[in-house]
């Protein structure tokens, strides 16, 4: 049996051609961009998930689930997460 090799960029092109994938990607993009910003701010400040959780008054597991994208946070959670890092959330409609 022969093995087929495909690059990640080729997979990306195939997925981007799928309208359902594109729709779901677009729907989740804002969430994942915000998660990435919070993770980057935490890393820049050299704060562990446990330290961030303590600052927020929540459990480390909640931070872990949030950062993995498996938790759909409330706006209040996002505001607390940002505040725990000395940041604030700004929302706008486009």
**What is the number of structural domains in the chain?**
1
**What are the phi and psi torsion angles at 47 (to 5°)?**
-105, 130
> Which of 37, 59, 83 shows the shortest CA–CA distance to 51?
59
For the chain, the distance separating the N- and C-terminal CA atoms, rounded to the nearest angstrom, is 52
Q: Is residue 55 pLDDT above 80, yes or no?
A: yes
> Which of 24, 3, 5 shows the shortest CA–CA distance to 15?
24
Q: What is the pTM of this model?
A: 0.77
- Rounded to an integer, the average pLDDT of 82-88 is 97
Per-residue pLDDT tens digits for 16-39: 888 898 888 888 898 899 999 999
Nearest-angstrom CA–CA distance, 53 and 50 = 5
User: Which of the listed ranges 6-10, 64-68, 70-74 does the model predict with the highest average pLDDT?
Assistant: 64-68
Would you place residue 8 in the very low, low, confident or very high pLDDT band (cuts 50, 70, 90)? Answer: confident
Report the length, in residues, of the chain. 94
71 lies in some domain:
yes
93 lies in some domain:
no
Q: Which domain holds residue 16?
A: 9-84
Q: Is residue 1 pLDDT above 80, yes or no?
A: no
Identify the residue with better confidence: 93 or 2. 93
3-state secondary structure of 25: helix
CATH number of the domain bearing residue 21? 1.10.260.40
């Amino acid at each position: 049996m022969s093995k087929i090799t495909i690059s990640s960029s080729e997979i990306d092109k195939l997925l981007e051609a799928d309208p359902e994938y594109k729709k779901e990607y677009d729907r989740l993009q804002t969430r994942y961009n915000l998660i990435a910003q919070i993770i980057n701010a935490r890393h820049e400040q050299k704060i562990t998930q446990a330290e961030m959780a303590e600052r927020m008054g929540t459990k480390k597991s909640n931070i872990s689930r949030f950062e993995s994208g498996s938790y759909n946070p409330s706006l209040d959670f996002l505001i607390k997460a940002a505040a725990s890092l000395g940041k604030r959330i700004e929302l706008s409609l486009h």
